[in-house]
Chains A and B, each alone.
Chain A
Amino acid sequence: MKKTFSLALAAAMLVLLFVGCGNSAKVLNVYNWGEYISDGSEDSYDTIAEFEKWYEATYNENITVNYDTFQSNEDMYAKLSAGAVSYDVVIPSDYMIARMSSENMLLPLNFDNIPNYANIDPNFKGLYYDPDNLYTVPYAYGIVGVIYNANEVDEADADGWNLMWNEKYSGRILSFNNSRDAFGTAMYKLGIDVNSTNTADWDRAYEELMVQRPLLYGQVMDEIYNMMESGEAAIGAYYAGDYFTMLDNQADTVDLRFYYPDPTNYYIDAMCIPSCCQNKELAEIFINFMLSRDAAVANAIYTYYASPNSIVFNDEEYLDELGEETISILYPGISDFAKEYNRLAYRNLSQDMLDYINTLWEKVKIN
């Protein structure tokens, strides 16, 4: 009696297990950064819902998109490399793409299914993380600049990276709270290659960070939004797109300004298809949809990041919505972008180098 009962229970659980997996409707699993797509809030365009609608209208077939988010490249990498989940489209940053493709975690795209790829600006093709344009379609890019409160900071002091080391503003400066970006500011300031494999270079950057340390109000990541908006801190470095988010919310007593120091950091996030993909053609159709006019413009407006899609940065509605001044900051018109990008963007470093940097970073944090 007991035995039959437990056998029945076990069988029921097994059945449940497979019911959970066997789902016949077409499913597309998308893995993207949090808050990185136009999602219908505040009357914006609901990208995922629109894609489902469009797909059903075009192919006469129902589809479900599972849209999940991650918080950092490393989180995403951990999930995928453990083989724990299968996603069809992921949108990591450049250095993580380089790492994933070197570990055979990406599938080459079939560009016959992505005709809209032709609209990608040629500056964003053949970059170091994908030199032969096999695996990626760029989604958005950003450039690091210095943000300051003009009510507190003298315009004349807004001079490259030096502002973040200016003793006049001791206790008013914010620095990045992650090793790569924090060391990056010091290395750009000193004119060192940020991808240097020479430990002496990193030691010099470390010395520079120790000079900056007593001047800092704090080392922050997303806390920077509230601190800059409220005037709690006066100087910080962040991405151009994020500066506009702060500008929208700044207090009456704060007057935020922005400029690019030279040299500075560039990043690109790109759509790719990981090797665990279950439906490659569908994934490519989705990528193509993301490049179409309505979706691409809506996403660029929503995220405030610059778009590599020529349809977007030539679109009347987009230019009107953001305004001339915003556009001129987001798209500073860098000549020979690809070369600048390849020179200045962060690359994936060897584990030994990363360990060395982390040891230095811990010393910065302790002091």
Chain B
Amino acid sequence: MKTASRIYTALLFIFLFAPIAILLIFSFNESKSLSVFSQFSLKWYRELFRDEATLTSVRNTLLLALTAMIGSTILGTAAAVGIQRLRARWLRASLNTVTNIPMTNPDIITGISMMLMFVFSGRLFGLANSLSFWTMLIAHVTFCLPYVILQVLPKLRQMDAALPEAAMDLGCTPIQAFFKVTLPEIMPGIITGAIMAFTMSLDDFVISYFTSGAGFQTLPIRIYNMTKKTVTPKMYALATIIFFVILALLLISNLTDEDSGRKRKARKSKTID
């Protein structure tokens, strides 16, 4: 039984990581082929850092993900606070459903309907390019919003409603009470929401594809367009770099989490002592 479960776990990990491993290995291949490993070389990494178009698309992707993250986090937190304050239960429930629509809607429908709306309003203003960075940003904020709201709402619910009231009793204005008491209390939810928004925006293809305008293509779109011919090994190099950056970030966040967890425990045991 034990060996069976071990084999199962091993298989699971092989299926999860074999594709990444293959990509990693072939990013160091001298030749272009995916079948023949001719010689170890850093050629494709050199090529990658010389390829202006790809680097631009990486910059575009990061810029878009960061701005979409900031936008959706601010809007999403505000929306969550607003929803939480609603007294009428049916109103709260229906608002929750409405905000979840961009998340549950198939990407392709969100993408096409967004594009149609942008084209329509672009024509209204007589713009030649109705799609641009800004339309992409609006689309990304839209589909990232529910993830932020869903992360922040439970934190608001967990928070003792008396806390901001106490702050106001002690002389805080409502805005001060929000920034000094409520915000620190729900911060973990906001951060998780922001990280989710960032990753969702980073790897979105379908919605970006429909809402991207002239002169602003993101990395997923660029890679997709390469498939007419072959995807160049530069992309394997890029994927490898992204993989390691994300791995490093995960390790750091896990380590600091553990660290703060230990500290918290230590603090708790001290107070008990």
Contact = CB atoms under 8 A, between A and B. Distances in A.
Interface string A1-44: 00000000000000011001100000101010111100111100
Categorize the interface residue count of chain A.
Answer: 35 or more
Interface string A246-262: 00111110000000000
Interface stretch (B88-96, B187-195, B209-217, B262-270): B209-217
Interface in B21-51: 31-36, 47, 50-51
A27 B216 CA distance: 13
A269 B229 CA distance: 15
Given A17-B134, A41-B234, A86 B128 contact: yes
A245 B229 contact: yes
A69 B230 contact: no
Contacts of B224: 71
A229 B33 contact: yes
A195 interface: no
A245 B50 contact: no
Contacts of B53: 39, 48, 67
A288 interface: no
A278 B129 CA distance: 10
Nearest to A35: B229
B34 A226 contact: yes
B51 A72 contact: no
Contacts of A72: 228
A297 B234 CA distance: 24
Nearest to A68: B217
A84 interface: yes
Interface string A192-225: 0000000000000000000000000000011001
A226 B33 contact: yes
B228 A35 contact: yes
A348 interface: no
Interface string B205-232: 0000000011111000010111111101
B133 interface: yes
Contact of A85 (B50, B214, B234): B214
A40 B33 CA distance: 20
A226 B234 CA distance: 16
B115 A242 contact: no
B156 interface: no
A249 B34 CA distance: 9
Given A229-B35, A230-B33, A34 B225 contact: yes
Interface string A264-278: 000000000000101
B131 A84 contact: yes
A83 to B, nearest CB: 6
Contact of A34 (B116, B215, B226, B234): B226
Nearest to B47: A41
Contacts of B50: 40-41
Given A36-B228, A39-B53, A251-B35, 4 more contacts: A20-B133, A82-B119, A84-B119, A84-B122
29 contacts: A16-B134, A17-B134, A21-B132, A33-B225, A33-B228, A34-B225, A35-B232, A39-B51, A40-B51, A41-B47, A46-B52, A66-B214, A68-B215, A69-B217, A69-B222, A69-B225, A71-B225, A82-B115, A84-B122, A84-B130, A85-B130, A86-B214, A87-B214, A222-B229, A230-B35, A230-B36, A231-B35, A245-B229, A249-B31
Interface of A: 16-17, 20-21, 27, 29, 31, 33-36, 39-42, 46, 48-49, 66-72, 82-87, 221-222, 225-226, 229-232, 242, 245, 248-252, 276, 278
